[in-house]
Chains A and B, each alone.
Chain A
């Protein structure tokens, strides 16, 4: 403030850094390398990512990987146990089910159903929930009141009951399950996006953007969304897991994916009658569901650590 202060103005932007640019470029890696380093250094995230990549590749290349047609019934070859059991056969590595269908092939095709339902239901609910949450958080007031009302209404509905009732009315199929789950699972997206938007919206850079004259659309898409993407990603992974589990539950109850489509939940359901004598019929698809959900959850946890470390509890 006093004139003499000008003399000691050794600027952070000036002298010290400008003199040795080479050292600084070495010391300060760019954002992409930092991110890559954080991802590679996160062990559980990497393990989950590898499992997920394996499952996704399996689902995509199912026709190439499956040794048999998953729908092909050979009744004289029913209930052959997996290869590690005494009567196992190399032709059916994981044995066959009560209809004589190759269990490994059904498991491989089952990954398709689970992942498809998980991703699609998440996409639908994600779009619905994010739009509602961001609108509620950004516009506030009446908009917020209406959306919060919808949200509490949705939260009073038990998901499994409502989806069971709806499937019973409409009739179960892959598409109906995806649409019903998509329309029921948006609550968490809305809750999180609403509060994240409210938080970001009150920051000065949003105010600066509106003082610059940015349109509302521009403010939402280029100032707010990039800053809440981290939490969006975390919720998205959890909702995939949620949808996978719900699909399994619905299929187990006979109201999800309809036979003979191979779905892990349906396989558990079909195998339950033989559970005491042929436990692998239940254990194998159960293990698959468990692995998928665990991997997705670990992925979500890791994503939270990597993208939004400040949100860790």
Chain B
């Protein structure tokens, strides 16, 4: 006996020789099929797959799924990530047999329905962001960022404006931005943020010059506040000959209300897995379309869907010779794009405005109520966008209770913890994003849990250090896990 309960065992540990699940067992290959494979390429041993019954498989994975924290089970206020509900209807529509069975390289004449959906999604994203062109091809937010900065680079190169070597990034930008700039061959210069969470405009003016290729900004920022000087920032960067990049991480807050194109941004990436409610987490697949202003349109990654009369067709590098080219084998994550398309069609323009309004209303309600029970806001003078920052620096100093202790205790109250310790410029912080899809009752449950935990922190701080107590696992040693990374399971011989 391993001492583990059945549902703690790996599926491999449940294996017994000769046990089969007939529904999943591969059909025996005819000898002829094997004969077509050269002897040197045939495997000598059977693959080390678990031998289990069908019911064991069903029960094993059903049990595992119940041990997870997930948006289908719990409130999931993970700031910066926009963990909103993914409507089931969009999933169903994207799984219509005509979409599921369509070969990616099927002739355009056989794909007019799919191409029409993609064309309309491009048009819709242009409209909601105020940009002049959109390409859907980036496979995730990170690839969207890469495409965006690659276009900035292509633009300067096409003008033979070769001295631009720096990308400016405010402290409160999204964490991936510096990595993207470096991947595209730029040096990163950080711009400080003042005490209200706005960019330090004087420092930005001092940092801008003939070496400036562009500025990457997240607005609202990861401080959870809207950058009020965006007009002056755009003028400053454009005045120096640089371009403005909009990181779409926090687009949810302004959806239908303010458009990045109207703020002066030249290029934007959108995270469809955040703002447009396609599945998120579990490693994706994500989707990170890019939108551009007029002057960057020639550089958009291909393929893009175009329309000649009533016929839709792929536009590729023949049509867009200055394009930065393909980013993957073909055209992006078709299934994810379809889900975003249906989500957009169901909401319509009015629905988009409600996304912005309800997500900021939920965040501000939560912020005010949490302040009333004794939580400290990082920017008490500012209205929250769709997310906001709390700091537990005084609890850490006076009670020895850290943001992490409180986060772990929230799990005992059946609440997914918010994002912790990000952004780094606010000590002992929570970044909380409720999204527009939660009811007031759910928000109130979170507030009740926080009130109980703050009382526990005062009365019994030692108890919080051991949390969680009710979960399948207790407090994990994340330092040991990172220092002694071990991801490989080996079968006992």
Are A and B part of the same complex? no
